[in-house]
Amino acid sequence: MRSIIMVFKRFSLICALLLLVGCMTTSKQQNLSGYALGTSYNITYFDEDVNKHLTSAIDSVFYLVNKSMSTYLPNSDISKINRGDSSVIVDTHFSRVFEKSASIWENTRGYFDPTVGALVNAYGFGPGKPLDRVTITRRDSLLSFTGFDKVSLTSNLRIIKQDPRVYLDFNAIAKGYAVDLLYDMMWQLGYKDFLVEIGGELRTSGQHQLKQSPWIVAIDHPEQGEKRTFIKTLSLSDKALATSGNYRKFNIDSLSGNRYVHTLNPHTGTARPSKVLSVSIVADDCMTADAYATALMAMPLEYLKEIDLQEFEYFIVIANSSAAYDYKISPGFQELLNEASHP
């Protein structure tokens, strides 16, 4: 009798394994891409056939994000608030991003600050008309109403500004939040293994089904030629990655010839190149990774030891005098790097 039971158990195990393999082989890699939020997006998932309902679901997510937080749309909630409309009752998406921004603003000593919008516009990196020249006097004037402590969210979901000129700009966190919304959408649709990416910010779930391994993702090389190259690759599973860099977006002052980069120092109002070429952040969610990538670009590196690092891991590329690169890497990020790409 015992031998019969053992044979039955082995038969059951074989059937289970065959069923598992059969499920794996019926799923094919599916790729969906498009354009939104001023950049491209890509979703990789596994299914027997293309999910024809995904595109409309994705469009709905982007519609909600734009309606709530796009400074480029005049009728969005944030645009109305920036124009001084205090009657706007913000939605759940706005309040989540606002509260997360407040937490990161405090932890980074104000180096992540969504009230830099007026400065962003002045330097020509936002929807507003740029100034011909950002003088010291004009910069100091803009700084006088910059600071996340000058704005608050009431219990009835209205924004109160201490100065009506405060200009909110969530572009340094909203893209990461949109990645998280798409991530949640895919889970609600029943997918467990997938990758969502918007403009280089991404979040992974599970693993690559066909390879039966974590997702392999890459960090762009800070000096891109005609062909796109990567400086490091890492293995991610159930984590998000965001990278901020000053090597792509910059403007040249026609009078002085100075290069102004898109990462602004909220305390000084300056937009200048630094030796920090890029910052990559790994976190549990992409909203967190996106915001900290921006903050660490603006923050002096010595401040790293003074802030709470529990929410994220970091990889920083720094230019040195020998035309090469130095790296500053947290232990957790180091563990994620693939062997071939270790510093």
- Round to whole Å and give the CA distance between 341 and 316: 14
Q: For the stretch 258-280, what's the b/e string if a residue is b when 16 or more beta carbons lie within 10 angstroms of its beta carbon?
A: eebbbbbbbeebebeeeebbbbb
> Residue 138 has what pLDDT?
81
- pLDDT one digit per residue (tens) for the chain, 343 residues: 443 334 334 434 433 433 343 444 468 999 999 999 999 999 999 999 999 999 999 999 999 999 999 999 999 999 999 999 999 999 999 999 999 999 999 999 999 999 988 887 777 776 666 655 677 888 778 888 889 999 999 999 999 999 999 999 999 999 999 999 999 999 999 999 999 999 999 999 999 999 999 999 999 887 666 677 788 999 999 999 999 886 554 444 455 444 445 567 888 887 666 678 889 999 999 999 999 999 998 888 888 888 999 999 999 988 777 767 889 999 999 999 987 555 5
The pTM score is 0.85
Residue 250 has a CB neighbour count (10 Å cut-off) of 18
What are the residue boundaries of the structural domains of the chain, listed by start? 31-341
Distance CA 71, CA 165 (A): 15
Task: Tell me which DSSP letter residue 239 carries.
Answer: -
Name, in order, each residue with C-beta under 8 angstroms of 14's C-beta and a sequence gap of 6 or more.
none
Contact 166, 145 (CB under 8 A): yes
Phi, psi for 260 (deg, rounded to 5): -105, 125
**Angle at 258 (CA atoms; ends 255, 260), nearest 5 degrees:** 115
Structure tokens at 15: 């059937």
User: Please, where are the H alpha helices in 35-124?
Assistant: 54-69, 77-82, 92-107, 117-122
Residues 6+ apart with CB under 8 A from 202: 179, 195, 196, 217, 240, 241, 242, 286
Give CA separation, 265 vs 49, 165, 299, 313, in Å: 48, 19, 8, 22
| pLDDT at 225 (0 to 100) | 61
Handedness of CA 139, 142, 143, 147 (dihedral sign): negative
- Among 3.10.520.10, 3.10.150.10, 3.40.50.80, 1.10.10.520, what is the CATH number of 31-341? 3.10.520.10
307: left (phi over 0), alpha (psi -120 to 50) or beta: beta
Closest residue by Cα to residue 160 from 150, 171, 170? 150
d(CA 72, CA 246) in angstroms, rounded, equals 22
**Burial of 98 by CB count in 10 Å (0-12 exposed, 13-18 middle, 19+ buried)?**
buried
Looking at the DSSP bridge assignments, the partners of residue 329 are 315
Q: What is the pLDDT of residue 204?
A: 98
- What DSSP string runs through 150-180? GEEE-TTS-EEESSTT-----HHHHHHHHHH
